[in-house]
A and B are shown apart, each in its own frame.
Chain A
Amino acid sequence: MKLLVAASAGGHANDLGALLERADTMWPDRPSVYVTTSNVRAAKFRSEGVEAYVVREADRRTPISAAIAAAQTLRVIWRERPDAIVTTGAMPMAIMCVWGRLFGAKIAWVDCLSQVDTLSLSGRVIRALAHLTLTQWPEVATRFRKVEYAGEVL
């Protein structure tokens, strides 16, 4: 399985990092592609032999950056054609999930730990097309359809 993992810098990357520490023993394959918004993170993954892409950080206040991120993530999906995507957000990675879905990838979206009493805007949009949507807070799972709680990184 060609597994692509993705996270924006900051809390999102920490969340994903905690999951990747366990991927060796709990997931069928190690990720072969890593998508980030941080050059430092990308360099670290390349040094470990994992293909890494850096895309532009964007949020709803930065439509131009979002457009650039959309183009960059489309290029990533076009080149890599992942079988599955696991991501902890944020917005650029949500856009990438849309491209991934169009190219047939299976999508697992893990909403960020910092979303303590609601689902992120990205999460709310993406759960319609994701195959698995997880929140890290049990109360949030009870309030949103198609959203599961299974545990938390912290």
Chain B
Amino acid sequence: MTKENAYAIVQAARSAGKVTGLEIINQLFDNFFELHGDRNGTDDPAIIGGLATYHGRPVTVITTDRGTTVGQRIAKHFGSPAPGGYRKALRLIEEAAKFHRPVIALVNTAGAYPGQSAEEQGQGAAIAQNLLKISQAQTPIITLIYGEGGSGGALALACGDEVWMLEKSTYSVLSPEGFASILWKDSSRAPEAATVMKMTPQALLEQGIIEGIVEEPTDHDQTIQNIDLVLEKRLAELVQLSSEELLKRRHARYEKF
């Protein structure tokens, strides 16, 4: 893959015209009933989650959200969840596990919110708890990255059984700008970094980081239909597994790295 088209994917992943998590929820899921709050002092608007039915099956669905108005975007830190957002997601996943309800997580975030308040509320600790607890959650968890998969902030919602990506999405340890500035002290070399980092869906699939890629035409409806085909099939297979088999498979998934 040439550096031009790796960076073109980075730009496409960040584009304002991307399909949003709420669009996917509204079109693919019925009776979405939002559940707010981390039960610990905050309700981070950058994470939206709740109960819904998917092809008649009850599921818990969680998405990152960047907002549409200026006010929303500021409140949502442009889609970068605060520690309370990860705590909310975790409590919803644990509740889903109690009732053996599958979880579908939709991720598009530049990364976890890096502000002072996030540090004080334990951003690192919040992500760590997700990784720890989700590894043991006894229900199928499928993640779709539908834009940027920014580092630990994305991993905290992508550490379940399978991770799928839209064609024009990325998943990386750091932004290419950050990577270039740390290693080469020159953030303008981001396009080059994008290639070196192997952060495109195809490169990630080759490394065994993700299970597959969902075709993404410019038409949102068509994209959502493609997502539906994959999700329905994968979910139907995962719900057949016993809790033991599921967790064994999940641990093996991460052991190989």
- Whether chains A and B associate is no
Listed in ascending order, the chain A residues whose CB lies under 8 Å from chain B are none
